[in-house]
Chain A
Amino acid sequence: SYELTQPPSVSVSPGQTASISCSGDNLDNKYACWYQQKPGQSPVLVIYQDNKRPSGIPERFSGSNSGNTATLTISGTQATDEGDYYCQTWDTVIPVVFGGGTKLTVL
């Protein structure tokens, strides 16, 4: 079965750039997307199709996908960006897989 691997935690200082990785075999042959989940809330889509932002998502959120790794980048990280982040991919075989999640802490 297909697996996506994320680091359990990432820390960043306010105003700095946070990068969260998501690894899977030949991941760049598929699309990746990212969700943010804050405590007690439902997930929110922040990136889809590797690098597209849904309406309402700040420009500081960006994504990329190359080789075996997709990356979510948050530029000028704010305290409000703290939460859990999940990557996800899909295809006609899998069909949907989530990464294990990364807890982002803004110190």
Chain B
Amino acid sequence: DVQLLESGGGLVQSGASLRLSCVVSGFSFSTYPMSWVRQVPGKGLEWVSGISGSGSRTYYADSVKGRFTISRDNSKNTLYLQMNSLRVEDTATYYCAKDGNDYTNPNWFDSWGQGTLVTVSS
């Protein structure tokens, strides 16, 4: 069974930093691109960032470019999202998602974690 378990969310003040982690199991982690997708409570899904299976290619939404950094440790089956200079509008549940294809860039997401809530106060 594919499992993705996020952690690291919490309440922080505007301007602070936070690092999210996603530990996975049940599949060959290094084979697949991974992404972070966020959802403001009661709102829609927003893709945040993606990374290739090897970690050599990274992709970002314009809204987080320059502030967030995605990375992965394939030896630990773990995906990360380093979030700096957090803003109130970054408040959301953050999901890690496994790509359904083994291409370099994100495609579609066939498995999702349960999400971790990040709240940024002013």
| Chain A, Cβ-Cβ closest to B35 | A96
Q: Report which of A31, A44, A97, A99 forms a contact with B107, defined as CB distance below 8 A.
A: A31
A49 with B112: CB separation less than 8 A: no
20 interchain pairs (CB within 8 A)?
Answer: A1-B62, A35-B45, A42-B112, A42-B113, A43-B45, A43-B109, A43-B112, A44-B112, A45-B100, A45-B108, A45-B109, A45-B110, A48-B100, A88-B47, A90-B107, A95-B105, A96-B47, A99-B44, A100-B44, A101-B45
A96 with B110: CB separation less than 8 A: no
Q: Which residues of A contact B62 (CB under 8 A)?
A: 1
B106, CB-defined interface residue at 8 Å: yes
**Alpha-carbon gap, A84 to B43, bound state (A):** 10
Q: How many residues of B contact A (CB 8 A)?
A: 21
Q: Report which of B47, B95, B110 forms a contact with A97, defined as CB distance below 8 A.
A: B47
- Residue-wise, chain B 90-111 has the 8 Å CB interface mask toward A (1 for contact) of 0000010000100001111110
| Chain A, Cβ-Cβ closest to B60 | A95
**Alpha-carbon gap, A45 to B44, bound state (A):** 15
- Name, among B46, B50, B107, the residue most crowded by chain A CB atoms within 10 Å (CB to CB): B107
Interface residues on A, range: 20 to 34
**Alpha-carbon gap, A98 to B112, bound state (A):** 15
**Alpha-carbon gap, A44 to B107, bound state (A):** 15
Q: Report which of A54, A99, A101 forms a contact with B110, defined as CB distance below 8 A.
A: A54
- Residue-wise, chain B 41-83 has the 8 Å CB interface mask toward A (1 for contact) of 0001111001000000001001000000000000000000000
